[in-house]
Amino acid sequence: MSVGIFKFLISVFFANAIRILRFIPNNDPIMGMMLPFSKQEKVYVSVLFPIVTMVSFDLLTSGLGLWTLITAATYGCLGLSFYFAYKKMKKVDMKRYLGSGVIGVLIFDLVTGVIAAPFMFGMSFPQAFIGQIPFTLLHLTTVTGYILIITPLLDKHILKNKNLDDTKILTLLFKRSFA
């Protein structure tokens, strides 16, 4: 199954729109949104969705840099890992998504906060580790919320919605433009 370009781009748009709104601290729906892609998409889409989302967000907000490379690569590797983990499973339910979210946050925050941050921001590893604890607790909370709310909506109303298939959208657009 392939969701197509329209569903991919609308998902990237919504992920970035949610992040730009910043209505809660650590407002990052990428983990919760990449899980359905990893469950039902081809391997390259599972990797590309979080990378494109991260790069496009940084391009819009703060500019591209080493931080973009580190976070996008980390998310891409997680997308790849979840793809191969889910490929072996017959059913991926909410419990599995929540467990994946916890594992994903712990890995993401370890790589970006504890390992990369000392090199980028001139702090010691113990400082980075201790400072990362409250951030990771908040990250776990917000990712859990996004998995409970956004993941099923994305899965059901966008990725599995046949009315949003590229061919239907293109047909609709061309009918209207030539009518």
Residues in the chain: 179
User: What average pLDDT does range 42-54 have in this prediction?
Assistant: 96
Q: Which CATH class is domain 4-178?
A: mainly alpha
At 25, the pLDDT band (50, 70, 90 cuts) reads confident
Distances (CA, A) of 154 to 62, 101, 148, 149, 178: 27, 15, 11, 9, 32
pLDDT over 90 at 109, yes or no:
yes
The pTM for the full model equals 0.89
The pLDDT value given to residue 176 = 60
pLDDT over 90 at 169, yes or no:
no
User: What average pLDDT does range 90-94 have in this prediction?
Assistant: 92
The pLDDT value given to residue 58 = 96
